[in-house]
Structure 1
Amino acid sequence: MMNFSLFGALLCMFSWSSTSVCQFHSVVVQPGGEVTLRCSNLSRVPVFLHWFKLADGPNATIIVSMSSSGWSKTQLGRFTMTSNITDLFLDIRSVVFSDTGLYFCGSPTDGNPVIFTATYLKVEGTILKPISQIRKITLENN
């Protein structure tokens, strides 16, 4: 398995487009938590922006997309994409272990994706049961 820091750097350096402006970040979050990923320094406003996820394997999946006509907010399940024109955000609620992976934002330009920011998200920690699910123990005193 390739080191995600190395992969992120390579993704930025050898992006599919020579116009790519890329930053790489790494974030750790606990299961059940919430995290916001940021895609910044968009040099120009493309028509479509996407958040992609690369987990295990070579194929990236589009998580959520937004067009320039709806810059305010796009939501898909636990994922919410927002923008303030210069920055693009991906909020992930109720994080689960399978959310671990490399997330990147970009835009198709002349048929080639332009990657702006890549973030490796690692979900680690333990899942604690809610108190309501913990078995009740009664101690008797003789």
Structure 2
Amino acid sequence: MRSFSLIKAFLLCCVSVSGSESQTVQVQPGEEINLLCPNISTTPTQTDWLRLVNRTKSSCVSSLYESDGSPSFCHGFQNGEYEMSSNVSTVFLKIKHVDLSDSGLYFCGFYIKKHTVIAKVIELSVQDESDRRINLITVILGSLTVLLTIVIVGLAVKIRKLQTGTRNNRGPDHLNYAALSFQTRRSRTPEVETRVSYTACR
């Protein structure tokens, strides 16, 4: 959005930018794309598509006078890959097979009262195949990192529970008692009986 503002400020010295819209469009190489621009002219006039590459190199793409006229394509855009058309409400620029060289800022302008008025600015971003691979690898590695983190946390919780359970099964005063009872034979003296009882602990 900032780049659009800078470009608009730069263009003020030579064209009029009045209520223009800005848009970003992302496409894959080989796709077909239609760039749309609102028709702000109330009378027949010349409509132009312009392109700015790397914010420094500008070029004319095509021109059209009236909606039923034949478009004129500028140098480098006469290869049949571009089509320009217009109706009462919209001006179109079709790119049939997009490639990386089509990336840039596209301006739709109308010649009104001796000034070119920019009606719309479109940033066309064509994604590189290597960028797509890098993005895919980043997503896969991120997913694996999250999965491994979940597994590690799960194992740590399980180990903690096992350690806590072992401690609870053993009391601090876990003692075993055994009672021993001995009885001696009766002596000749009636009424006398001896019992010995031992209690052992360990």
TM-score, normalised via structure 1 length: 0.72
Trace 1:1-142 onto structure 2 (pairs within 5 A): 5-12=1-8, 15=12, 16-17=14-15, 20-68=18-66, 70-71=68-69, 76=78, 77-126=80-129
Amino acid at match of 1:24: S
Identity of aligned residues (%): 32
What is the CA RMSD across the aligned residues, in angstroms?
2.6
Ranked by relative contact order (alpha carbons within 8 Å, sequence separation 6 or more), the top structure is 1
TM-score by length of 2: 0.53
Instruction: Assess, with a 3 A threshold, how the Cα gap between structure 1 residues 125 and 51 changes in structure 2: closer, same or farther.
Output: same
- Sort the Cα spacing of 1:10 and 1:69 in 2 relative to 1 into closer, same or farther, 3 A: same
Cα displacement (A) at 1:59:
4.0
Distance 2:22 2:2 in 1: 10
- Highest Rg: 1 or 2? 2
Count of equivalent residues? 123
Q: Is the 8 A contact 1:66 1:81 kept in 2?
A: yes
Identify the range of structure 1 (57-66 vs 70-79) with the bigger mean alpha-carbon deviation: 70-79
